Amino acid sequence: MMTTRIIGTGSALPANIVTNDDLAKIMDTSDEWISSRTGIRERHLADDSETAAVLAAEAGRKAMENAGVSAEEIQMVLVATSSAENYFPSVGCQVHKMLGLHQAAAMDLSAACSGFLFVLNTAHAYIKSGLYERILVIGVDTLSRTIDWTDRSTCVLFGDGAGACVVQKDEEGIIGMSQHSDGSQSGVLTSFAPTQKTPLSEAMPGSPLYMEGQAVFKFAVKTVPDCISRLLEKEEMTADQVKYFVLHQANSRIIQSVAKRLKVSADKFPMNLDRCGNTSAASIPLLLDEMNRSGKLEKGDVLMLSGFGAGLTWGATLLRW
Ligand code: ACO
């Protein structure tokens, strides 16, 4: 039966690295607090030239090189982001221009930290339907621009970056997927854009990223293992058959708790959040690219990708590499 396979990966990180000690110089925090509560030691922060589109295009170009596909062969670009600098053109259309993807349709999708899974699953649906055979999927966020840098409980968590995969119709690849949303809990994690005064309404100031950390923590440690277990059950597979669980990189304590609830060794949960922080929609493809390029992945390995984020949104994708 035809499905969707990841045939190449790429990623891009801003040049500037900001350590916990650097943050401790500008706010009341410490490396000890941040690393013991989250596992994060440093993050990359974008400068003015490193827009979401620039990072997305670099990750996309590397993924296409890794897959050995040319610009003409890409039929669609799907970008997950919730921090693009402009409302339109979409980041997808900017990547379209930067990479010369003349044959491709392009669009963005917003599902916060679950965004990459949502675009991967959307690409899979397009490929399964027969509409497209080869799609570039990208997760990118520059949340550092949306954060309140005086709120130490959120600003220390996030980093910027982009990750990308080329996916293509194949006999093996995605085994199963699931994606979910619960809008009734939208208030625990929000970011509002400012609005202009119009003839009928007053201008509204924007508000930076706001998060009820403990509520998100509790949601993640219950919902992610439930979602993974249900998908395994649906596909009649067990956690033993999964080589790696590639989870959204928000907090090492969340990842350890998920491993414990699934009764799976924490060694099966690779992490790069110590070096990247929470890069939102970029975190899963960034980690996948690292694993791919370091030779950790072999053809046929079973991977479980799973993420959660604002919305609230969450999901999982079970695939054979
Ligand atoms: N440095 C030092 N102290 C701090 C800092 C900091 N950076 N931040 C908070 N504190 C203090 C608080 O003021 C509080 O002090 P108090 O006890 O005197 O009041 C104390 O540390 C404990 O604060 P808590 O908020 O209770 O700390 P907690 O252990 O819950 O950890 C954290 C906070 C790390 C945010 C945790 O709740 C968490 O990781 N939550 C999940 C976040 C997450 O995964 N978000 C993903 C969102 S993805 C997306 O879609 C954008």
- In tens, the pLDDT along 165-224 reads 999 999 999 999 999 999 999 999 999 988 899 999 999 988 899 999 999 999 999 999
Give the closest residue (by CA) to ligand 1 atom 3: 29
What's residue 118's pLDDT?
97
Contact 179, 313 (CB under 8 A): yes
- Say which residue the tokens 């923590």 belong to: 217
38 CA to middle of ligand 1, Å? 9
Cis? peptide before 194, omega within 30° of 0? no
What type of residue is 93? C
CA angle 146, 151, 157 (to 5 degrees): 70
Average pLDDT over residues 265-271: 97
214 CA to middle of ligand 1, Å? 7
213 CA to middle of ligand 1, Å? 6
Between the two ends of the chain, the Cα-to-Cα distance in Å is 16
For the beta carbon of residue 65, count every other beta carbon within 10 angstroms.
12
Q: What is the pTM of this model?
A: 0.96
CB 310 less than 6 A from any atom of ligand 1: yes
What type of residue is 281? A
For residue 262, is pLDDT > 90? yes
What's residue 173's pLDDT?
98
Contact 166, 65 (CB under 8 A): no
CB 256 less than 6 A from any atom of ligand 1: no
Average pLDDT over residues 246-258: 97
**36 CB-contact burial (10 Å; exposed 0-12 / middle 13-18 / buried 19+):** exposed
Show Cβ contacts of residue 2 under 8 Å, excluding neighbours closer than 6 positions: 127, 128, 169, 170, 171
Query: How far is the C-alpha of 227 from the C-alpha of 83, rounded, in Å?
Result: 26
Average pLDDT over residues 276-302: 97
